[in-house]
Structure 1
């Protein structure tokens, strides 16, 4: 087992750097495409290219983590993002717009590596602290996401000094930061075998009566406590990591109610968040609200997503991941209902709705990721993580693309109605998982009697 403090520190620092790299480039990506092509519609595809790149990179990076280790997988993802920045700079010099979209897709590999880092944090966590370690790594994204756009101007100045167009300079900064991230994790990060938690090696000892109350979290390797403090054990049969690919792992997982609930918590929460978030600035400016207020609302939203993640992680370890996911569903439902019922130009309810939307996403991602780790056999974890992150990003890309159409047809209320519909399968799967847990508890009680 590597030194826990060093590994966590490397992951946090690296996540901060990666956040700077992604945010500083993406902040000007659409503007660069618009400048090179003069076609606004193509500019709107800049974000989609990056999200699709993250989806395409998630599964190969997961496979690489199984074969060579997390440090190799993360370093490769960040190196691809650095290469993407080089492609974008080359595109600006040559005028080849195709290179811009290829570069933005490679940028997505950096985002995919950043998502994989949350699972890496759980692999060095003390038993019962997995969600808290994960949340600290996610929290570092807040600093990077805020600092990235602020450093874009500095990048532009450096680029101008080197004779580059102003909008290309931020990508020079991004490429440098991603290269530094790649070297950092390759040189300093050493984790256990990908997918193996420290608690997996603990003997399975009998638990005294009353163990598992909400204020006494179970060691995570034996299953996270759900509603009522019960412990659900993985029922998925063991599998060889070499014999099971990501999509095969996903097919196995959907047959286990608790694993399916975890996957849908991640995918549905992200889909709802992206669909509503990307249309909020459009909705606000269309109703005469200022860009300053738009910036404030998005800042509140990001604060809800990442700023509160340590609290969400603490709750997941203390009261159980299922309860945290349920809390996230409540936040998302409330945000959607506010979006449906509020006046179009309400300057108080819009920030409230976006803040709750960010909190709901945080609960869904952290709670779902924690539950995913404990709902399948250890050999399925990394392939399933890759498949889930790929599905999450594909759903987000579709949500971003379709939400504009929905906004044009049904307005902002229509966007939020669709968000409610996306949450329906998540709620149903949660009820099924709870029923399966109760059935397992009843069977266990009957056998003991």
Structure 2
């Protein structure tokens, strides 16, 4: 552990975060591509297939706040290592459950597996802590982008993993979790042995004082989107300044600030829409006779949309501000759900297009919302609020994933997309007062 107040070599720490995300991306994507299919195989119903993603996302939400607390107490690298280790354990539990046909154990394993996604998402905030001022969103987006290679490769390794599992005597669809478990185990070792970061509270000595904070999007020539609506000092959510503030207290304080509310809505709504549609896409395609390889290809395109353009999205946030990027994200997500609602399941042009746009809209909402969240509150609220926001988005997405199975059975894939589009309404409503305030200030 570096001494208090010392920031580790920024380039080295960021490089390790980026490299580790490659491994974690393989871990998450290898399992997630077949989780719903495995649950459907074991339970015999598409309704319960949605619960596979529910379990994983709920598990991610469950550990988000404890991981944030661990980051404050011991450092980000400790929190990330614990998250990846839990995910490796989850993959093992899924394999054991499938072999023994103990169905409830599958969902327990998938809940633990979700800790890998939670750790990967918290790595984006770790990137901002080692970023040079004015480059926070770009550093965050590079860590997210690093997930692209592993996440795109993961689903395309599904067939190989399945063949490997069958060769080892495992049931169908279980083999990909062998790859996931190995990837997360290696991620745990990398974080434990190579990555060292101070506790977020120790970074205070290395950043400007509260009134002089570096804001995302406030460099020369860019609007001060992370702070006040039209330049000036960054707006902070009112509240306590005690470093020991808890996650839910931070959330209740931040919710009073229009800008923080918009940031939270962008993170929660974008993630919920993405999960609601993505989790049922493999089940929808498989039900229409498409092969596992084609399903993996579509999921790879979706993940490429999520992470592939993230450096560009981060650059735009740093230059133009978070709010315009969030607005573009809403439009892209609406387009994705409209195409998804109209496209036939076997249309190998429109279905990949819809899933690719779904990922791109998620990227805009997640990076824009995370950047705005990080700089719209006081420093002592940031880490607990980050944990609370990740927990909230995963709980919401867990509900959406559980509902998607019911919607698919009741009204088809078009209904899944149409209901997902309605999730964007709170995000639009949260943006109205912020945009009105910006226009009012600009007209003075």
Establish whether TM, by shorter chain, passes 0.5: yes
Structure 1 residues 252 and 10: CA distance shift in structure 2, 3 A: same
Q: Report the CA distance between 1:126 and its aligned residue.
A: 0.5
Counterparts of 1:53-132 in structure 2, within 5 Å, are: 53-132=59-138
**Distance apart, 1:334 and its partner CA:** 3.0
Inter-CA distance 426–230: structure 2 relative to 1 (3 Å threshold): farther
The answer to whether the 8 A contact 2:71-2:200 is kept is yes
Aligned with 1:329: secondary structure? helix
Q: Is the 8 A contact 2:37 2:283 kept in 1?
A: no
Structure number with higher relative contact order (C-alpha < 8 Å, ≥ 6 residues apart): 2
Asked if 1:315 is matched to 2:316, the reply is yes
Aligned to 1:430: 431
How many Å apart are 1:26 and its aligned residue?
3.0
* Equivalent residues of 1:20, 1:177 under 8 A apart: yes
Q: Which moved more, 1:339-348 or 1:311-320?
A: 339-348
Structure 1 197/72 Cα, relative in aligned 2: closer, same or farther at 3 Å?
same
Equivalent residue number for residue 233 of structure 1:
235
TM-score, structure 2 as length reference: 0.85
Could you give the per-residue CA deviations for residues 266-321 of structure 1, whole angstroms, max 9, x where no partner exists? 00111122223334455567788887776554443322211111110110101011
1:357 aligns with 2:358: yes
Q: Give 2:3's aligned residue.
A: none
By how many angstroms is 1:411 displaced? 4.7
Write the mapping of 1:98-177 to structure 2, written as runs, cut at 5 A: 98-155=104-161, 164-165=170-171, 167-177=173-183
Count of paired positions: 435
Q: 2:336, 2:354 within 8 Å by CA — same for their partners in 1?
A: yes
| Preserved CA contact (<8 Å) 1:37 1:97 | yes
Aligned partner of residue 224 in structure 1, secondary structure: coil
Please say which of residues 152-161 and 172-181 is displaced more in the overlay.
152-161
* Greater CA drift, 253-262 or 89-98: 89-98
Q: Residue 421 of structure 1: CA displacement?
A: 2.5
Equivalent position SS for 2:57: helix
List aligned pairs for 1:32-431, cutoff 5 A. 32-33=38-39, 42-155=48-161, 164-165=170-171, 167-194=173-200, 201-202=207-208, 215-216=221-222, 224=226, 232-242=234-244, 244-280=245-281, 297-339=298-340, 348-431=349-432
1:85 and 1:93 map into 2 onto residues whose CA distance is 13
Q: Which runs of 5+ in 2 are unaligned?
A: 1-6
Supply the RMSD in Å over aligned alpha carbons: 3.5
CA contact (8 A) 2:97 2:105 kept: yes
- Cα deviation per residue 1:371-410 (whole Å; 9 max; x = unaligned)? 0000111111111111111111111121122234334555
